[in-house]
Amino acid sequence: MPEHLFPSSLAQKLPESVVIFGCGYVGTALAEALLAAGVRVGALTRNAATAQQLRHLGLDEVVVADLDSEAWHTQLSARYEAVVNCVSSAGGGIDGYRKSYLEGQRSILKWAEGRVIRAYLYTSSTSVYPQDDGRSVDETADTTDAPKTGQVLLASERLLADAAASFGCWYVFRLAGIYGPGRHYLLDLLRSGAPVIPGSGDYFLNLIHRDDIVIAIGTALANSSPERSGIYNVADSHPATKAQLAQWLAEALGVAQPRFDPDAVSSRLQRRGGRMVSRQILSTKLAQSLAWKPLFKDFRDGYRSLLAEQELE
């Protein structure tokens, strides 16, 4: 559970207060973990239902607004030592990306002017990497040919890097594919009895459990110093092909092994651009520079935990 993710040794070094912009799947779990560690937490979300949930958790203040607007600048009244921007896309294709990520980042940076911010952390995505030949990819990889959505994320990253002098420390976390409680598409597909999985099974999946993202963010906030500023990949560093994941899940569920249809494209993938790229994302820098210790070393550990939780429900 998110509220038990930070050991006391880490909790003691966390900022006294943190504001989270974009309290969705990751942000809400982060809020729970921070609250359990005794941190004062504020949040901004565009979703009224999410805001109600956050208030129920006990957040110090919750503002409902579009991040790219400046109207919320006067509504968020408390002072915060650290900022976490983990907003997700508002939908609407590339324009939605610009609204949420680029203009949202610009709005936060304007709000932060003149404030004393110990650490600013922004969650970007490994989708900024264009590599598609199965190679290993670290933070030094070329992003020149990033897809259009990746270019928006890169522009958002640059906004933060350009404002780095305003903060004690800054981080860009490029997140791999997120899974966790309530977010396990392939597991649900196999459990439903689907005999065929659309697409190819031979490309690499790069995954990260939601709770390990929260641990990474907490670790960064607890160890903020200028020399640690920079860009970090956040993945389990044990990529597997989609076929390997599907085969393992089928065995764990006790269902028939699925087959893949390379000529079919799922509606889910169509919404994401119609194709998957194959590369192996490395998070060595995060482990070495910040001493990040994930709970789940690979998808097997992560999905075993999910299956065990579901058996208890």
pLDDT, residue 275, reads: 61
* 235 alpha-carbon distance from chain centroid: 10
Helices 148-162 and 104-112: angle between axes, nearest 10 degrees: 10
What residue segments make up the domains of the chain, in order of their start? 2-179+208-237+280-296
Exposed / middle / buried, residue 269 (Cβ in 10 Å: 0-12, 13-18, 19+):
middle
Calpha distance 18→253 (Å, rounded): 40
Quote the distance between the C-alpha of residue 93 and its chain's center.
19
pLDDT in tens, 136-162: 999 999 999 999 999 999 999 999 999
The mean pLDDT value for 66-87 works out to 95
Statement: residue 276 has pLDDT above 90: no
Q: Given this model, what pLDDT does residue 244 score?
A: 96
CB burial of residue 114 (10 Å; 0-12, 13-18, 19+): exposed
> Is residue 268 scored above 80 in pLDDT?
no
How many angstroms separate the CA atoms of 245 and 39, rounded?
A: 37
Domain 2-179+208-237+280-296 has CATH 3.40.640.10: no
Task: With cut-offs at 50, 70 and 90, classify the pLDDT of residue 125.
Answer: very high
pLDDT band at 41 (very low <50, low <70, confident <90, very high): very high
- Per-residue model confidence (pLDDT) at position 4: 85
| Residue 226 pLDDT grade (very low, low, confident, very high; cuts 50, 70, 90) | very high
Does 274 have pLDDT greater than 60?
no
